[in-house]
Structure formats: C-alpha cells, structure tokens
Amino acid sequence: MRKTLFLSVSDICRLIEFVGLPQFLGQLTDRIQADFARWQEFEKCPRFASYSAEGVVELMPTSDGSMFSFKFVNGHPKNPLIGLPTVMGFGCLADVATGCPLLISEMTLLTAIRTAATSVVAARSLANKGARSMAMIGNGAQSEFQVLAFFELLGVNRVNLFDTDAEATSKLMANLQGVAGLNLTAHATSRDSIRNSEIVTTSTASKLRASVLVPEMLEDGMHVNAIGGDCPGKTEVHPDVLSRAKVFVEFEAQARIEGEIQQMPPSFPVTELWEVVAGLKPGRLSPSDVTLFDSVGFSIEDFTTLCLVKELADRYHVGSDIELVPDMRNVKDLYGDSVGRFRRESIR
C-alpha cells in the first residue's frame, strides 16, 4: 500500500526555499494559465459553504479525470482579533483510478500564493501592457504575495499601500523593504493610494458590504483585481464600479453567489477568465477600458497548486509519508490487520 505524502507549513517553506519564491510564483502562474486553457476537462461546481455569524467554512473539489483534489478553507474576518488568521486551509490530492490519497498539504500559505498567481494570470490578459503602478488596499496576510507576484512577474514596481490598520502597512513595508527595485509608499487614505495607480488590488476582510472602491476613484484604463469580496454579504466594490467596468470572473455560478457581482442582477454580463486565456473571448478591448477581475478563488487553482507541489516535493525529497490508509497484508481483512493486530500486539 503506498503511503500518503504530507507537506507541513515548514515543508512548503523548505520547498519554496529550494525553488525560490519568484520562480515558484512563475511556475504556478504558468501552470494555472495552462489549466485554465483546458478548463472544459475539469469537473466544476460552486464550492460547498457553511456560513455562520462570524465566517464561513468551505470545501472546494474538482477533478480532471486523472487526479481529484479538494481544499478545506475558512474565512473569518474577526479572527485576527483573537490571534488567528482570517484564512486557513489544507488540501488533498488523490488518484482517480484507485482513489488513493496521494498528498495532504497545508494550504494557508499555498492559498495566498495561488491567489496571487491567479491575479497575475488575470492581469496578464486584462491590464494595460506596461502598467508599472498598483494600489494595494488591505495589507494583511495576502498582501505581500500579491505585491511580489505583480513585481516579479509583471514588473509592477511602484506600489501604493493603504490599510485601515497602519500596523498592517508597516508590517508589509518591513517584510519587503529589502526587495531591490520595488518602491513602496504608504498612504493615509484609499483614495490617495489609488490616485495614479494603473492597477488596483483590493484585499480587505470585513463581513459586510464595504465600498473600498467607489466610481469617483476610477480612472480610464485601470485594472481592478478585487480579491476580498468572496462571500454572500461580503463585498468591497461599489455596484456602480461594476457597471462601469468589464467584469471577469473565475466560475460564474460561484461568483454570482459570492463575488462582487452578487450585488448585480442575474443578467449582469460577465466573462469567465478561462475563455480569455483560451482565446475564445476578448479581454481588454481598448487602453481606456476599465477591467475588473472579481476573484473569489476557484477549486482548479488549488488543484494546479497541489499537483505542482507534489511534483516538486518528489523531486526535492521534501515532506514525510504518513499512514493515512491502513497498511494491510490482506486488503479484505481490515479488522485483522488493524484493530485486531493492535490488540494482539498489546496483549503480548
């Protein structure tokens, strides 16, 4: 019986150290783009979401017929007040032919990295070529990964920061101060951070209808990367911003429930990003278009990430084998080869 590979947070950090974060982001971005291009090969459904007063716990499954994956993830915006992250996750990759669970991995860190990689896939197709400036609104757990991915993969080197919590912005600046060529500026208001930014990333967390971005802040040609509105009743962008923009989503059926577009009527037009990636639909039509990626996170992004870390972990011999499935001499003798054997051995 083959063992299941387990990748802890330390293992993922070790793997990223071997590969290099910019290279890891680059590989993951290319792989997500490739999997979006073969979108129709995947089984898809809106994620299962268990809502409560303070947050949500979700399961995100998919399969391409060869591998099956799921991610467990939560979203609890008040968690930082009690010393817990807003978002925590872990995932599983299994072989479709046998059902064998091949990998269990941490996915708190991987969710932040894959979200940043997906944001780059969208910006590659939708932002004006040559954009070098970005407002980063919400400077919490996701933010450094967003800033680094846009810097390393798209050359966005002027980043204007804003968070209602000034300490979050200071933390981001301290973490990234040594990155050569990256210019970070903290601002006192979101309006100031957005002024003269070609790209606007919103990554805030509060369980309400916020208006971090209002229509007066928009400028011709902007690309908005809205990642924080991802739950019913939890949005960041004013509905008039959506009316003004060309809106792109991951999976429409899920985005209608959870994304910014939950504020719009069901007939509000959107394009799924994969259609642009696959060359079936246009993205930006003119340099003056305002484009908006209404990201909520989708299972295929996690599938791609789990496949990549499994490959890299095998190559670099990172992680440990865990006994997730009983190791049986006779696979029909579950009792005898598990509790029975344990009992016999403990009597001896």
Ligand X SMILES: NC(=O)c1ccc[n+]([C@@H]2O[C@H](COP(=O)([O-])OP(=O)(O)OC[C@H]3O[C@@H](n4cnc5c(N)ncnc54)[C@H](O)[C@@H]3O)[C@@H](O)[C@H]2O)c1
210 binds ligand X (CB under 6 A): yes
228 binds ligand X (CB under 6 A): yes
262 binds ligand X (CB under 6 A): no
With respect to ligand X, which residue has the nearer C-beta, 7 or 121? Answer: 121
- 81-85: long-range contacts at Cβ-Cβ below 8 A with a sequence spacing of 24 or more? 85/141
CB neighbour list of residue 162: distance below 8 Å, 6 or more residues apart: 135, 136, 137, 139, 169, 186, 187, 188, 189, 190, 192, 193
* Residue 260 CB neighbour total at 10 angstroms: 31
Shortest spacing between CB 270 and ligand X, in angstroms: 15
With respect to ligand X, which residue has the nearer C-beta, 5 or 113? Answer: 113
Q: Rule CB under 6 A: choose which of 125, 197, 204, 304 binds ligand X.
A: 204
Strand order of the β-sheet with 56-63 is 48-51, 56-63, 67-75, 89-95, 101-106, 4-7, 320-322
For residues 33 and 277, is the Cβ–Cβ distance under 8 A?
yes
Q: Which residue has the tokens 């054997």?
A: 341
Catalytic residue among 230, 240, 333, 337: 230
Q: Give the CB-nearest residue to ligand X.
A: 140
Stretch that binds ligand X, among 34-42, 177-185, 278-286, 293-301 (CB under 6 A): 293-301
Shortest spacing between CB 57 and ligand X, in angstroms: 12
Q: Is 230 a catalytic residue?
A: yes
| Closest-CA residue to 238 (of 252, 256, 253, 224) | 224
Q: Per-residue x/- marks for ligand X, 120-159, CB under 6 A?
A: -----------------xxxxxx-----------------
Shortest spacing between CB 139 and ligand X, in angstroms: 5
For 117, 237, 251, 278, the CA distances from 304, given in Å and listed in that order, are: 11, 28, 16, 17
297 binds ligand X (CB under 6 A): yes
Task: Give the chain's largest Cα–Cα span.
Answer: 79
Stretch that binds ligand X, among 9-17, 290-298, 322-330, 338-346 (CB under 6 A): 290-298
DSSP sequence for 267-303 = T---EEHHHHHTTSS-S--STT--EEEE----HHHHH
Shortest spacing between CB 124 and ligand X, in angstroms: 17
With respect to ligand X, which residue has the nearer C-beta, 17 or 165? Answer: 165
304 binds ligand X (CB under 6 A): no
135: which strand partners? Answer: 160, 200
* Contacting residues toward ligand X, per CB under 6 A: 75, 80, 86-87, 111, 115, 137-142, 162-165, 168, 190, 203-206, 210, 212, 227-228, 230, 295-297
Q: What are the residue numbers of the active site?
A: 230
